[in-house]
Amino acid sequence: MEKTKIGRRFQGKVAIVTASTQGIGFAIAERLGLEGASVVISSRKQRNVDEAVEKLKVKGIEALGVVCHVSNAQQRMNLISKTVEKYGKIDVVVSNAAANPSVDTILQTKDSVLDKLWEINVKASILLLQDAVPYLQKGSSVVFISSIAGYQPQASMAMYGVTKTALLGLTKALAAEMAPDTRVNCVAPGFVPTRFAEFITKNDDVRKAIEEKTLLNKLGTAEDMAAAAAFLASDDASYITGETLVVAGGIPSRL
Ligand code: NAP
């Protein structure tokens, strides 16, 4: 992160990032914070929230931490109200939480697992935005985190991929609904070696096979995803809405 030239595009802005105590969400919060935003970070566990807030503060970032399991209605509302209590408004919402609870084929996936995938990966984002809408400023911005798997759902995580496809549609639909005051865009990461993608780091052959699928012959970093999310959330993207930016080292997505 230090090597990247960082601007101050979010000076005076307030940004909420869900699932942001590690991995891609943390990197996004850090990037927005380094660019001047007051960032509100959250995840399911208080200890993770406290540690992440500390890490951001050490870097001089103004940060508030609130526990929020994205499928808990009360915790979603609390995330919004604590943000507004402290900072008075919301300029950026990055909806980053996702679950991938099963490696079953779609036709073998249990009813309860289908519900969980829909609830965490899609529905919670919608419900969080419903709570946030009254406080979203003119010129505000929403960023969803989809996946390259949304373009080509892979075996063993196919239903997860389908929920990520849904986010591409949600981006288009909400961009229309929330225009002109709020832009809605999406980042579709390729493979990033986080805890969520442990299968990559655990197995050298899998890692190599994925690297070879990219044109750049390497995995992505959380900072790569953060740079894309920050661009879309910033005024540099002020004429962009309803779009998904694929950040996948050249893995095929679409023409
Ligand atoms: P990660 O490193 O495993 O981090 C997950 C974060 O989410 C943690 O801070 C975790 O903290 C929090 N979290 C998990 N479940 C939550 C929930 N239900 N509610 C609130 N917070 C929750 O994951 P990641 O790889 O950065 O993934 C972030 C996003 O990128 C996801 O949407 C994922 O689908 C997408 N993505 C990742 C990759 C990849 O290769 N890594 C590729 C494409 C897309 P707690 O444990 O404290 O809750």
Q: Is 175 in the pocket of ligand 1 (CB under 6 A)?
A: no
CA of 185 relative to ligand 1 center, distance in Å? 18
* Whether residue 135 lies in the annotated active site: no
- The per-residue pLDDT for range 99-125, each reduced to its tens digit, is 998 899 999 999 999 999 999 999 999
Q: How confident is the model at residue 202 (pLDDT cuts 50, 70, 90)?
A: confident
Q: Can you spell out the DSSP letters for the chain?
A: -TTS----TTTT-EEEESS-SSHHHHHHHHHHHHTT-EEEEEES-HHHHHHHHHHHHHTT--EEEEE--TT-HHHHHHHHHHHHHHHS-EEEEEE--------S-GGG--HHHHHHHHIIIIIHHHHHHHHHGGGEEEEEEEEEE--GGGTSPPTTSHHHHHHHHHHHHHHHHHHHHHTTTEEEEEEEE----SSTTHHHHH-HHHHHHHHHHSSSSS---HHHHHHHHHHHHSGGGTT--S-EEEESTT-----
Q: Is 196 in the pocket of ligand 1 (CB under 6 A)?
A: yes
Query: Which pLDDT belongs to residue 5?
Result: 73
Phi and psi torsions of 121, nearest 5°: -80, -25
Query: Which pLDDT belongs to residue 27?
Result: 98
Q: Is 225 in the pocket of ligand 1 (CB under 6 A)?
A: no
Does 1 score more than 70 pLDDT? no
Write down the domain spans for the chain: 14-245
Q: How confident is the model at residue 200 (pLDDT cuts 50, 70, 90)?
A: confident
Query: Which pLDDT belongs to residue 3?
Result: 58
Query: 14-245 has which fold?
Result: Rossmann fold (3.40.50)
Pair type for strands 244-247 and 90-95: unpaired
- The per-residue pLDDT for range 208-250, each reduced to its tens digit, is 999 999 999 999 999 999 999 999 999 999 999 999 999 999 9
CA of 20 relative to ligand 1 center, distance in Å? 8
CA of 141 relative to ligand 1 center, distance in Å? 21
Distance, in Å, from the CA atom of 25 to the CA atom of 103, rounded to the nearest integer, reads 23
Query: Which pLDDT belongs to residue 52?
Result: 98
- CA-proximal residue: ligand 1, atom 31 (nearest): 98
- The per-residue pLDDT for range 161-198, each reduced to its tens digit, is 999 999 999 999 999 999 999 999 999 999 999 999 88
Give Cα 188 distance to the centre of its chain.
Answer: 9
CA of 99 relative to ligand 1 center, distance in Å? 7
- The per-residue pLDDT for range 127-174, each reduced to its tens digit, is 999 999 999 999 999 999 999 999 998 888 999 999 999 999 999 999
Q: Is 25 in the pocket of ligand 1 (CB under 6 A)?
A: yes
Query: Which pLDDT belongs to residue 199?
Result: 77
Could you say which of 87, 151, 160, 239 is catalytic? 160
How would you list the strands of the sheet with 136-145, edge to edge? 63-67, 38-43, 14-17, 90-95, 136-145, 182-189, 244-247
- The per-residue pLDDT for range 40-97, each reduced to its tens digit, is 999 999 999 999 999 999 999 999 999 999 999 999 999 999 999 999 999 999 999 9
Query: Which pLDDT belongs to residue 154?
Result: 86
Q: Is 161 in the pocket of ligand 1 (CB under 6 A)?
A: no
Q: Is 197 in the pocket of ligand 1 (CB under 6 A)?
A: yes
Q: Is 24 in the pocket of ligand 1 (CB under 6 A)?
A: yes
CA of 82 relative to ligand 1 center, distance in Å? 22
Query: Which pLDDT belongs to residue 98?
Result: 98
For the CA of 98, the nearest atom of ligand 1: 32
- Average pLDDT of the chain to the nearest whole number: 96
- CA-proximal residue: ligand 1, atom 11 (nearest): 43
For the CA of 222, the nearest atom of ligand 1: 26
Neighbours of 204 (CB within 10 A): 9
